[in-house]
Amino acid sequence: MLDRAKLKHLHFLGIAGTGMGTVAAMFRELGLQVTGSDQAVYPPMSDFLRERGILFHEGYREENLAPKPDLAIVGNVISRGNPELEAILTQRIPFVSLPELLRGWFLYRSRNLVVTGTHGKTTTSTMLAFLLEKGGLQPSWFIGGVPVDLPGGCHHGKGNFWVLEGDEYDTSFADKRSKFLHYLPELVILNNVEFDHADIYADLAAIQKSFRQLLNVVPKNGLALINADDPKALEVAKDAPCEILEVGGGPQAAARYQIQASGPEGSDFTLHGQKFHLRLAGKHNVHNASMAISAAHTLGLSLDKLAAILPDFHGVRRRLEVRAEAKGITLVDDFGHHPSALRESIAALRGRYPGRRLWALFEPRSNTTRRGIFQKELAQSLSAADGVYIAEIARKDQLDPLTRLDPSKIAADIKAAGKEAHFLPDGEAIMKDLLPRLRTGDVVAVFTNGSFGGLVPKLAEALKNR
């Protein structure tokens, strides 16, 4: 456990990351001196840090450590050879990872609710934090996204609960275990289990092992909410030492949701005998809501109260977020990059915008989708749109041509299935080709876990000026 009384100055390596930046801002609000550094700090994070009075440096250098901080927080993007990290090691400056900081500073003293799974972590953790906050429990939270309805992705509340988005990615250069293994959970939500993060996991079994390790540290009087419709998640939870609640849409679920209606205004569904309305579209969001509701109910909030709160939840930035409406054309920004996420998001858009022509613009950028692992699956998911644009894979030269994704083949396979599809080198080329094809009523969905070369704001501006 960290000796908080002796720590006055924290220095964050990798401060421009969403998680690192929001945690740094929280500590600044708690009255500590906070500094940091990153390779490239640009809006919106540069503005976010400056507005909160946080000094940060562009580039990593030993001089950034003057005056010497009491504790360095090393982001998982930092590796050996980084000049600032090497100086920290040489000067014997105490350092921890971001998960270790949260655990040592807060989590030993709190009741921790960890939301995990391959998909839906950000939305479900945001929804759970929102329900607890509006329910009067004053939770703290750490979420890897930007909530629409909450003050930032990281917040220190006055209550006993911490809601944490449990990332299965590795912790730091010195700790290759999943981040969520540091979070000391009394309650875990396991949304789903699929293969992802091909740069650090060899196969699905390795991912399942990590989730199993997490469930293994839940106390006997704790609780794990498991996706009843996902055999891989059920397999992970098979020997869990805590109580299990299976949540899903199928008849085998102990907590079963049933969708009554779904359309442009959202979804109506029942759960635990209670009617709920969710303004978000898509079956996957009903599932996310059912997990959050079930968790909040076990913590003492009544179903009536939760049903009154839920309709005010607007979601998370970059999760099917409408970024522009112009000339009868709707532009949607989505973080989706895994084939399953793309499939569910496209299905949700079909439900929200029935009868409208849907374009899917996809940037293969994640460490998994840059590889050829999901060559067929990506074509199948994207072909649910009416027209598809796919760009060249990011950082193409870093991968063996024999193992990397072939986006031109994805476009060819979608064409062979009878849908319009185009492979173009980047967002600029895609925008130039797409704009003349658009007509009133079209929906354009941009899918990337990066910026796609600023494609969304550029498209928004171009649509306004058509």
Is residue 161 scored above 80 in pLDDT? yes
DSSP 435: G
Is residue 247 scored above 80 in pLDDT? yes
Helix (H) or strand (E) holding 428: helix 427-434
Q: Residue for token digits 């532009």?
A: 331
Q: What per-residue confidence (pLDDT) applies to 335?
A: 83
Q: What per-residue confidence (pLDDT) applies to 371?
A: 86
Is residue 56 scored above 80 in pLDDT? yes
pLDDT classification of 352: cutoffs 50, 70, 90: confident
Name the phi and psi angles at 114, rounded to 5.
-110, 120
Q: What per-residue confidence (pLDDT) applies to 1?
A: 67
Q: What per-residue confidence (pLDDT) applies to 195?
A: 72
Is residue 83 scored above 70 in pLDDT? yes
**Reduced DSSP (H G I as helix, E B as strand, rest coil) percent helix, strand, coil of the chain, to 5:** 35, 25, 40
Kindly report the average pLDDT of the chain as a whole number: 92
pLDDT classification of 337: cutoffs 50, 70, 90: confident
pLDDT classification of 199: cutoffs 50, 70, 90: low
Is residue 48 scored above 80 in pLDDT? yes
**Domains of the chain in sequence order:** 4-96 (3.40.50.720), 101-312 (3.40.1190.10), 321-464 (3.90.190.20)
Q: In whole angstroms, how far apart are CA 45 and each of 25, 124, 389?
A: 11, 23, 29
| Burial bucket for residue 202 (CB in 10 Å: 0-12, 13-18, 19+) | exposed
Is residue 369 scored above 90 in pLDDT? no
Q: Residue for token digits 């992802």?
A: 196
Is residue 140 scored above 90 in pLDDT? yes
User: Contact 151/138 with Cβ under 8 angstroms?
Assistant: no
Buried b / exposed e over 119-133, threshold 16 CB at 10 Å, is bbbbbbbbbbbbbbb
Is residue 139 scored above 80 in pLDDT? yes
